[in-house]
Structure 1
């Protein structure tokens, strides 16, 4: 694996459950589901989400790992087609079985067919999309904030505000009220507040996929608050007898890092860890 720091020595999970999860993946890889968030996990966080791209080592690591495990899944809040484009996944050698679950699992892209399947969009998203610019202006929050159109959801970013955290905190309650009024829910992230339909989150999507795959073990890697639901799903799977490993990218979100079995410095290190697993399985 070239210069990867994990090419010969992988970091050890800090918890017994995590060590059991890694051992299960290595011991029976054909039954393993490897699921990963995109932004902050496979791609570095950048000021403009439209400029996010998978880390240069991410696709090679996934391609090295994929032939040895049951399935590799990217689970993201982005539209599936956007994650595929920004990830460079379409047509990537070795990733013919890749699945991308977009919009927290509401959309599914299969590399085998190159198509996206999804239900009809929630009408509340269109209503919020129309109302949001005037709403932000009316509460004095337009300065430094901007709206990201996500198709089946809409997000408000505060990263460019003069005080990003203060803007985030000030907007959280008003945007929760706006979401509720249109039958949506508010999903907080790292300097972003997303208004999206209820009933689907990364935990629901991951649990459904693991059941569909008949997995005997699972690895989930994430970096943000939206990944807590997937962590909870892995905890539930572990309590029901399916070993799992929780990987945290970056450690900037304490709520996630404190629950992880293993914290690595960011997307480059996530890629190196996956490459290290692949090397063990060769």
Structure 2
């Protein structure tokens, strides 16, 4: 088989890559044929922005906003769907300036934060937040004690940059425990999984595992629910979704369900050897955030932007 038809193969930046599955090729063809009935949606961390040791320093690839600006006028809508708080995702993606004013050319962009529980619309610059969940505050108090008991002497850090350590990112409506900076990241992740599951369950929360991170958050929303609702709202018949982590599997499943109902979809994995499950489900694997931006640029070019 021609290597260009393999998932993960890359063609010159100016050309659209060829998805490695029939469903993916159908999804891309439908998007190109009727872009006004299509949605392009992407995760943030690992997809639009490189994974970094300190989450507060994550920023979108510099080509992401220009690519969205080229694409948005041709599509039904563009969305960023992330576990991050929507306000942070807006700032870190760069779709608004420092005062919160949306950048020109993106009225059709929406940021769905906290797995869809929070929403920011570029058309209005408005931010909608859910009511606080009591379990999050309870876990916020209990988590430092539990981590100190499980990982004595590791120097657990709350928030910001610090020495090599397990650290807690407070997202307001959720709490994420990162092990990437621990002396043995994989071992710390494995050790924490069961106790954090139990802690979350006691307080009515769920644990969302990711790339060396365990996030404790309220139930009821995931990226699949968020994507399905957004597609229904926009009336889109074709969806391109790009992600990189376990939390994106729900969005992949939503696109697969759309296909089963007669719609069209293209599943894109922002390549990582940390999440083989996503690459195995994807129609197309690209080379990290730079590859995602190349794909969006190529798509914009194919649409005449």
Q: Same fold (TM over 0.5)?
A: yes
Counterpart-to-counterpart distance in 1, 2:237 and 2:208: 30
Other structure's SS at 1:151 match:
coil
Q: What is the match of residue 157 of structure 1? A: 178
The residue aligned with 2:160 is none
Aligned-partner SS, 1:53 = coil
Residue 219 of structure 1 deviates from its aligned partner by 0.6
> What is residue 122 of structure 2 aligned with on the other side?
111
The structural deviation recorded for 1:58 is 0.8
Q: Structure 2 regions of 5+ residues with no counterpart?
A: 1-9, 97-101, 155-164
Tell me, yes or no, if the aligned pair for 1:6 and 1:272 is still in contact at 8 Å: no
How far residue 5 of structure 1 moved from its aligned partner, in angstroms, is 6.5
Where in structure 1 are there 5+ consecutive unaligned residues? Answer: none
Structure 1 stretches of 4+ moved >6 Å: none
Distance 1:251 1:130 in 2: 34
1:125 lines up with 2:136 in the alignment: yes
Following the alignment from structure 1 to structure 2, what is the Cα–Cα distance between the partners of residues 172 and 125? 17
Aligned residue for 2:253? Answer: 232
* Separation in 2, partners of 1:93, 1:46: 28
Looking at structure 1, the residues matched to 77 and 109 of structure 2 have their Cα atoms a distance apart, in angstroms, of: 7
Cα deviations by residue, 1:129-157 (Å, 9 ceiling, x for unpaired): 01110111122256121100001100100
Query: Once superposed, what is the RMSD of the aligned Cα atoms?
Result: 1.2
* Residue 140 of structure 2 is aligned to residue 140 of structure 1: no
User: What is the CA–CA distance in structure 2 between the aligned matches of 1:31 and 1:6, rounded to whole Å?
Assistant: 27
Q: 2:170 & 2:29 partners in 1: Cα distance?
A: 41
Residue 157 of structure 2 corresponds to none
TM-score scaled by length of structure 1: 0.97
**SS of equivalent to 1:161:** coil
Query: How many residues are treated as equivalent by the alignment?
Result: 279
Q: TM-score, normalised by structure 2?
A: 0.89
Q: 2:269 aligns with which of 243, 248, 253?
A: 248
